[in-house]
Amino acid sequence: MKQVDQAFSAVYNINPTDWVTANGGKSYTAELDIPELDNIIYQNGAVLVYISFAGTTYYEALPQVFDGITYGAIHSNGYVGIDISAISGDLVDPPTQKISAKVVLIDATSLELHKDVNLHDLGAVKKAFNVN
């Protein structure tokens, strides 16, 4: 993680073998170990997750839907989980390509100073919080 003006960001690679299911394939989750996500950020800050597929040059904010598959993110202390499931509720295959996940952690003080930033726009977040 890189700290810049009380915002932290890092890019994680999610490989096809990182996806696990606990319900026979109705959904899959990839877990990211993020020790910088402490209780202060968990309780009062913001955790933003963006993904980029192999072969693309952009990140999309989660939650998002691609080709009938929903991508979402959950988090807790030290952890971000990225999950996928089919909108239809049918079984879903896990991704077969590498996915990059950009995680941005913002503490509550910095978040309060930038109330008007569009958190769904990675460019706006990078500019407001001086994140590379």
Give pLDDT, residue 3.
Answer: 46
**Architecture of the domain made up of 2-117:** Sandwich (2.60)
pLDDT at position 127? 84
Give the integer Cα–Cα distance in Å for 21 and 24: 6
- Strand, helix or coil at 25? coil
| Residue entry with tokens 């990182």 | 18
| Residue-level pLDDT at 58 | 93
Q: CA 128, 33, 20, 42 torsion: positive or negative?
A: negative
Q: What is the pLDDT along the chain (132 residues), one digit of tens a residue?
A: 444 456 789 999 999 999 999 999 999 999 999 999 988 888 888 999 999 998 899 999 999 998 999 999 999 999 999 999 999 999 999 999 999 999 999 887 666 777 788 888 888 888 887 776
CB 31 within 8 A of CB 81: yes
**Measured distance CA(2)–CA(9) in Å, rounded:** 5
Q: What is the pLDDT of residue 125?
A: 84
pTM above 0.85, yes or no: no
Confidence (pLDDT) at 5:
52
**Residue with structure tokens 């693309």?**
56
Integer-rounded Cα radius of gyration of the chain? 15
For the chain, the domains span: 2-117
